[in-house]
Amino acid sequence: MYKYFREIKAIIIITIPLILAQMTQTGMGFIDTIIASKVSSTDMSAIVIGASIWSPIILFGHGLLLALTPIISRMNGIKNNEKNIVLHVKHSYYIATFTSLLIILILWHSEFLINIVHQIDPILAKKSASYLKALMWGTPGYLYFQIIKNKFEGLSKPKPAMIVGLIGLVINVILNYIFVYGKVCMPALGCIGCGLATAIVYWLMYIFINIWAYKKLSKINLYCTNIFSLPHLKTIIYLLRVGLPIATALFFEVVLFSAITISVSSMNLIQIVAHQIALNFSSLIFVIPLSLGTAAAIRVGLHIGQKSIDKVHTTIFSIQTLGLVISIIETILILLFKDKIVALYTSNILIVKKAENILLVSAMYQCLDFVQIIGNGILRGYKDTFGIFFITLISYWIIGFPLGYMLALTNIFIPSLGSIGFWIGIMVALTFGSIMMICRILYLQKRTLLYL
């Protein structure tokens, strides 16, 4: 029993900095929206629309680099493996650079994308495109930061990313204030200022964490010098083989919620606002299972590298148990305080009632959400990323979205339920996804020797 408590303690020590680091990333988007809203509703809307284009694209690049965490954690479990770690980090820069150029090219034509997806007022579309064209120059900085962040996390050192993230958040507030409102001899740029400020912050965060890596990792031969040496094609293919399924799964997940939001936008205002309230709150609490999933990838990868089957199994049982306990607590809190949660967003009685019903569904699937997201992390630790891809594709797009659409907008089964129908679809998707995830993990545990 002691080994489980010891493992849970190790997981918590890793997870807390991961949660704070994740919150800083979420906080930047929140700050952009709040500050822009003080300028005009048009500027705020331009950022919201821009974010709907930016998020799936940048998260695809982000997902490609997530392969680095389990790869490094596994290598970290093997003694005297510093050269291999450095080699894989170096080649991640090639992937990040190529992906950055591709993203910049796409966002340069963002006005075309916005008009296809949203069909909005031309002035608003132009503002949103201008915001994205300012933000896109931060893409390389963001992805380079993710490389070093993932490297530190793979070495079971999540604190640097947390501290740099908090510093970046503070700088983001200051630069937003200067660029958006036109302070310190700068012209007032509105929503474009938000994009410019965030782009600068991404580069500063990369510079800060790179300096940290130089000071802490060069002593143990883990700092990358001469980043762009001649590429080794097999290493790049290996990184892509592990990372591409993660990136695609992330892209599918983000696009799913974008598709739901677009579908809900055809409903009345009460349905739209209730959906957005539930979505915003769900995004805030999602950082906990997401961080536990990353911790799972780190610990499972480390123990596989150490060739310790017993420790792998201990980690899986411990983190799933911890996730179950936290998810039960979250469920109880949502059920008890759902009225107070909704009251933070609105006082409209009709919207409050709808949003509370959606939060009730959200509360019901918290345990399932934790099982699936932590399971994703466990599979990443095994480097079984194709399993993540297929489970995400089947549960969300083959089961969840079609069912949600039929419940929300058609009368095929029962009279249309409105926006809550999509949330029931998500709950059913998570049910099937969790079952598939548990089956896959049990299968891998039986065949752990093949992964050592």
The pTM for the full model equals 0.88
Given a cut of 80, is residue 44 above it in pLDDT? no
- For the stretch 86-111, pLDDT in tens is 888 888 999 999 999 999 999 998 87
pLDDT at position 163 is 93
Residues 4-31, mean pLDDT to the nearest whole number: 87
Given a cut of 70, is residue 450 above it in pLDDT? no
Residue 360 neighbours by CB under 8 Å, 6+ apart: 335, 338
Residues 222-233, mean pLDDT to the nearest whole number: 69
- For the stretch 126-176, pLDDT in tens is 888 888 999 999 999 999 999 999 999 888 888 999 999 999 999 999 998
Given a cut of 70, is residue 222 above it in pLDDT? no
pLDDT at position 124 is 77
Whole-number Å distance between alpha carbons of 99 and 67: 15
- For the stretch 235-263, pLDDT in tens is 889 999 999 999 999 888 888 887 887 77
Question: ∠ CA(326), CA(283), CA(408), 5° rounding?
Answer: 105
Given a cut of 80, is residue 121 above it in pLDDT? no
- The domain segmentation of the chain, as residue ranges, is 1-231, 244-452
Whole-number Å distance between alpha carbons of 409 and 164: 45
The Cβ of residue 189 has, within 10 Å, a number of other Cβ atoms equal to 21
Question: ∠ CA(377), CA(380), CA(383), 5° rounding?
Answer: 160
Q: Tell me the range of 107-121, 259-273, 275-289 where mean pLDDT is highest.
A: 275-289
Residues 215-232, mean pLDDT to the nearest whole number: 69
Residue 184 neighbours by CB under 8 Å, 6+ apart: 178
In which band, very low, low, confident or very high, does the pLDDT at 278 lie, cut at 50, 70 and 90? confident
Query: How long a stretch of residues is the chain?
Result: 452
Longest pairwise C-alpha distance within the chain: 66
- For the stretch 176-199, pLDDT in tens is 889 888 887 778 787 888 889 999
Q: What is the DSSP string of 341-397?
A: HHHTT---HHHHHHHHHHHHHHHHTHHHHHHHHHHHHHHHHTT-HHHHHHHHIIIII
Taking a C-beta distance cutoff of 8 angstroms, is the pair 408, 417 a contact? Answer: yes
Q: Tell me the range of 64-68, 274-278, 344-348 where mean pLDDT is highest.
A: 64-68
Taking a C-beta distance cutoff of 8 angstroms, is the pair 157, 220 a contact? Answer: no
Given a cut of 80, is residue 30 above it in pLDDT? no
- Can you tell me whether residue 70 is helix, strand or coil? helix
In which band, very low, low, confident or very high, does the pLDDT at 119 lie, cut at 50, 70 and 90? low
- For the stretch 376-393, pLDDT in tens is 999 999 989 899 999 999
Whole-number Å distance between alpha carbons of 190 and 289: 35
Q: Which residue, 256, 273, 303, 292, is CA-closest to 404?
A: 256
Taking a C-beta distance cutoff of 8 angstroms, is the pair 315, 74 a contact? Answer: no
In which band, very low, low, confident or very high, does the pLDDT at 229 lie, cut at 50, 70 and 90? low
pLDDT at position 271 is 80
Q: What are the tokens at 390?
A: 């297929």
Whole-number Å distance between alpha carbons of 305 and 449: 12
Residues 219-244, mean pLDDT to the nearest whole number: 77
- Report the chain's mean pLDDT, rounded to a whole number: 86
**Sequence letter at residue 312:** V
Q: Which residue, 328, 325, 358, 327, is CA-closest to 341?
A: 358
Q: Which residue, 116, 108, 99, 113, is CA-closest to 132?
A: 108
Q: Which residue, 127, 144, 137, is CA-closest to 103?
A: 137
Whole-number Å distance between alpha carbons of 145 and 139: 10
